[in-house]
Amino acid sequence: MRKMAPLLIVFLTLSMFAQSLTVMATTKDQLVETAKTYIGTPYHYGGTTPNGFDCSGYINYVFEQLDVNLPRTTSGLYQEGTSVSKSDLEVGDIVFFNTFGSGVSHAGIYIGDGEFIHASTSRGVTTDSLNSDYWSPRYLGAKRVTETEPEIEQASLETSRELEPGEYRDVKENHWAYDEVLNLSQDDVIHGTGDDEFGVNGDLTRAEVASLLVRANDLSAEGKNSSFIDVEGHWSAKEVAAAEQAGFLDHLTGERFKPEEKVTREEVAVMVANAFDLEANGQNGFTDVTQVHDAYDEITALKEHGIINGYDDGTFRPNHTITRAEFAIVLYKLMN
């Protein structure tokens, strides 16, 4: 047995090393996925939320989702971590630029293949190439913060703690929708996607919205039959039938419901206004939802009741999809 001990130690060491590599790879995938969730979010000087970001506010927000706390300013970020050469860049490294004057004035997150994601002053959150004609001559350097902040690995390893009712591993206490998700889950209105995950950044489907509105209104779905020919056998068939008969789906025409189609912010506004009998009394102020818009009244009603907000640039973006976390906030406001 003593002769086997060194082999056992080597095996355990290799196993732990392999697990560490897996954790790091998984965490970096999560970082990129989280960062890309906010593509299209407008630039807002001093912004630190999905309503609008500046470059360092965006980086802070993304890393906070993985429990990594960083300095608030770009110059502060430049003092963090370990310097890495451009040829050794890894996913998750923070890249820095001089866009005017001297010194660091802009930063983004490296996402691989020579690309980085950042909050651009002209286009909001977007991706660009480090080797582009604009960014290449302005590149200053990069810092690696994931190795000096063990929390980023600990966040992925934290699977042993028993969750409280209504908690999910991808909706931590510092998440902007934590309270809403927790309360709705505890009230059995919303559920996760499995494996203790809520699917916080996943887009909602038409079937999911219909089902959530039925639950929120405490409607019985038993014994209901839908006129839509494509919901028979679908998990949401009874809820869709209940939503249809309650008038939540009056905006739809034709014989197909398309239960797996991703819903837009516009359609959510229509379904919610129908479900909660919300009416408009004034104007919404959105530059991209004028009075000729088909869903003008419904969007205006939700704005007037404080259920939805637009973006800092004055738009509502009716054709954008809505995530599960965003709809949780809408639903919570409606029910409270």
Q: What is the pLDDT of residue 279?
A: 92
Q: Which of 122, 153, 184 finishes a domain?
A: 153
Determine the pLDDT at residue 170.
85
Say if 72 falls within a structural domain: yes
Cα–Cα distance, 52 to 286 (Å, whole number):
16
Please give the Cα distance from 222 to 320 (Å, whole number).
33
How many Cβ atoms are within 10 Å of 209's Cβ, its own excluded? 24
Residue 216 lies in a domain: yes
Report the pLDDT value the prediction gives residue 151, as an integer from 0 to 100.
Answer: 44
Q: Is residue 5 part of a domain?
A: no
- The string of pLDDT tens digits covering residues 231-259 is 999 999 999 999 999 999 999 999 999 99
Answer whether residue 46 shows pLDDT above 70.
Answer: yes
pLDDT of residue 55 exceeding 90, the answer is yes
The answer to which of 4-8, 36-40, 109-113, 224-228 has the lowest mean pLDDT is 4-8
| Same domain, residue pair 186 and 323 | yes
Residue 233 lies inside a defined structural domain of this protein: yes
Residues 34, 106 within the same domain: yes
Q: What is the C-alpha separation between 80 and 145, in angstroms, rounded? A: 7
Does the pLDDT value for residue 155 go beyond 80?
no
Given 121, 153, 185, which residue is the final one in a domain? 153
Q: What is the predicted pLDDT for the residue at 246? A: 94
Look at residue 181 in the predicted model and tell me its pLDDT. 92
Residue 16 confidence (pLDDT) above 70? no
DSSP letter, residue 168: B
Residue 205 and residue 302 share a domain? yes
In a shared domain, residues 129 and 220:
no
* CA atoms of 300 and 59, how far apart (whole Å): 33
User: Which pLDDT band, with edges at 50, 70 and 90, does 9 fall under?
Assistant: very low
Q: Which residue has better confidence, 96 or 154?
A: 96
pLDDT score of 273 more than 80: yes
Q: Tell me, what CATH number does 135's domain have?
A: 3.90.1720.10
Predicted confidence band at 26 (pLDDT cuts at 50, 70, 90)? low
φ, ψ dihedrals at 166, nearest 5°: 90, -5
Structural domain ending residue among the three candidates 153, 170, 201: 153
Within-domain flag for 113: yes
- 164 and 149 in one domain? no
Residues 318 and 187 reside in one and the same domain: yes
Instruction: Judge if 276 and 193 occupy the same domain.
Output: yes
Of 79-83, 124-128, 157-161, 311-315, least confident by mean pLDDT is 157-161
Minimum mean pLDDT range among 63-67, 113-117, 140-144, 160-164: 160-164
Residue 23, pLDDT above cutoff 60: no
Residue 65 is predicted with a pLDDT of: 85
Residue 122: what pLDDT? Answer: 86
Q: Is the pLDDT of residue 159 over 60?
A: no
Split into its structural domains, the chain has a count of 2
For residue 6, is it within any domain?
Answer: no
pTM higher than 0.75: no
Does 72 share its domain with 165? no
CA–CA dist 213, 277 (Å, integer) = 12
Mind telling me the catalytic residues?
55, 106, 118
- Largest interatomic CA distance in the chain: 83
Kindly state whether residues 179 and 194 are assigned to the same domain. yes
Average pLDDT over residues 268-295: 92
Domain extent, residue 317, equals: 160-335
**Tokens in use for 11?**
């095996």
Let me know whether 175 and 288 are in one domain: yes
pLDDT above 50: residue 150: no
Q: How far is CA 269 from CA 253, 261, 272, in A?
A: 17, 16, 5
| More confident call, 247 vs 310 | 247
269 and 207 inside one domain: yes
| Residue labelled with tokens 């209901």 | 224
Q: Is residue 7 part of a domain?
A: no
pLDDT digits (tens, 9 = 90+) for 84-132: 999 889 999 999 998 876 688 899 999 988 999 999 988 899 999 998 9
Kindly tell me if the per-residue pLDDT of 38 is higher than 80.
yes
Is residue 99 situated within a structural domain?
Answer: yes
Same domain (yes/no): 149, 212: no
Given this model, what pLDDT does residue 76 score?
87
Average pLDDT, rounded, for the chain: 84
